[in-house]
Chain A
Amino acid sequence: MSSAIEPSIKSRPVYGTLKPATAPAHLIIADADGGKAVLDLATAAPTSFLPNAEICYIPGKADHSVTLEALGAARFYTGPSIAAMLPRLKRTFERMHMGTQIYLAGSESLIGLAMKTAMEANIDFEAIQTEHRGSLARRVQCVHCKGITEGVTTQPVTCAHCGLLLLVRDHYSRRYAAFQGVNINAEDPSDIPPKEEVFT
């Protein structure tokens, strides 16, 4: 098993395994250990696949960029962070040809943010293939101040914007690419539960 995501509520995203689609072009976006899913995808693909593929990769904590570049895709991009890649991704989605298959692999933040960017370019999220590998760290939107806290690994977590102690729910918004955080001790602010590392 590459992903340790437990079955949960209906808004919590579920991910599959990347499979080469029959398509004129392929856009592959990955971070960190998502690179391994891209290697598996390339191994399973016919010879016509890589000459029609673009790979966008953010190494993060597990760098597979040398191996990925050596695959010889038509275009290969690597960048320092997901945030740095998003403007480029936005433009790529806007000019993408009809029928291009999109593949997302890696952390939930990478998958969520790339999907959000695609949806903003009017791409149907249900046509996108996804595979989760690596970190379960979450993007969490504080329902109170609306600020987003990145890389959340603890339950509860302190909102990086307003400082409220948040319960991280499994309720997930594709538009925000974020899980919902709700003040955990609103009824009694003096009750401060300990933080546990749960999203790793």
Chain B
Amino acid sequence: MATPARELPFRDETFRDDFTFKNSPQTVLRAPFPFDKDSYMYAVNMELHKDGRAGTAFEEPIDVDEHYVSEMRDRALVLDEDPLRCQSLPHMTLAGWDTLELLMSCKAASYPEWFSLERDGDRWHWINRPLGIDDTFTFGDETTLPYGPLEYITRQAQGDFCVLDERAGNLWMDAGIVTTQADWSLDFDIGMNFFEWHAPVPLAHERGVFTRALKYLLSVQQANPARRLNWTMTVNPRLDTSPENYHKWGPENTHITPENVADKLFLRIELQSFWRLPRSNALLFPIRCYFLSMRDLTTVPKWATRMHRVLKTLPPEIASYKGLDHYREIAIDYLAAFDDGQETTAGPFPD
């Protein structure tokens, strides 16, 4: 290889069974904390996804962090158990190639020490050093890859990926890979339009959030990707909180106690971004998951304070929909000790 492999900082950890996942202090500080004020309500909180602040998860268009290699191992385990987690309706193959191109070119540009892409016409040479992949293939020819283009590249990219077809003034969930989700099923929702797949979300429809969000998304242009943050909470750093396996992980929702809340309960942040794809005109919708334990939050006084206030004032419908009812009070009690009652500074970033 032309580039000497530098010592990789990737952690060897698990997101199931013994749950050895852990953030380094630097990773906590760069997290995309989702609250820009001391309360929360659904909103169309879209912004441009470019020129991100240095030292944050927004710095590169497709963020790669210390959890990369272990997250990809977890994804492979999920797909072995349940191949329905990656699906693509027949008309979405071109959008799969668009996705492959976008992710390969972003990663190679942002992290040349880890990824490289060389193109000679349709002959492409892709190297992924962290995962030990070195493949040459023909762009557009599925027989030259071990998986379809969408599955091939998203087995090498953190976060879930939905590929939305645009037709009749709506967006249709017609392809995706979903193994790190907050309790929704790609297999059930594939083929649905924007309003249908969001149907179970309470309050937001009545507030016009989805109508405005769709309007915004339909206007996303190639040069201007967009992003928004969403959040929920998860017991244990389990990436695969799928409805498919809910009967297996559901009991853990009752396992939070005042003694274990600091390390067992996690703020689960979704960095959602939206990319217009050039050939298919589809919209790529990556949903990247970041975990912060309650203890991680307390290392940033502003975040612990804010999390405490958000949980205290959260509308009960939202708390129930997000599944927080078993442990919300325990988390509030734990975080109260870190809230000095003072006003917090504007915006989401640490002081």
- Using a CB–CB distance below 8 Å, which chain A residues touch chain B? 9-12, 126, 141, 143-144, 146, 164, 169-171, 173-176, 180, 182-183, 186-189
Contact = CB atoms under 8 A, between A and B. Distances in A.
A169 B200 contact: yes
A9 B80 CA distance: 33
A10 B189 CA distance: 13
B188 A12 contact: no
Contact of A174 (B187, B191, B195, B245): B191
Contact of A173 (B189, B205, B244, B250): B189
- For the residues of A in contact with B, the DSSP-based class is loop
Contacts of B244: 143-144
B210 to A, nearest CB: 8
B253 A187 contact: yes
A170 B201 CA distance: 12
Contacts of B108: none
Contact of A188 (B84, B196, B200, B254): B254
A184 B199 CA distance: 19
A192 B346 CA distance: 47
Nearest to A126: B168
Interface of B: 84, 168, 185, 187-192, 195-200, 205, 243-247, 250-251, 253-254, 326
B188 A176 contact: yes
A175 B326 contact: no
B196 A11 contact: yes
Contacts of B247: 144, 164, 183, 186
Contacts of B185: 143, 180
Contacts of A186: 246-247, 250-251
A187 B199 contact: no
Contacts of B197: 11
Nearest to B250: A186
B12 to A, nearest CB: 31
For B188, B195, B197, the residue with the greatest tally of chain A CB atoms inside 10 Å of its CB is B188
Contact of B326 (A176, A187, A189): A187
A183 B244 CA distance: 10
A10 B188 contact: no
A176 B191 CA distance: 10
Contact of B246 (A10, A143, A169, A189): A143
Contact of B250 (A9, A11, A126, A187): A187
B250 A146 contact: no
A141 B205 CA distance: 25
A126 B253 CA distance: 41
A188 B191 contact: no
For B168, B190, B192, B205, the residue with the greatest tally of chain A CB atoms inside 10 Å of its CB is B192
- Counting from the closest, the 10 A-B pairs by CB-CB distance are A186-B250, A11-B199, A9-B199, A11-B196, A10-B199, A183-B247, A10-B195, A186-B247, A143-B243, A175-B191
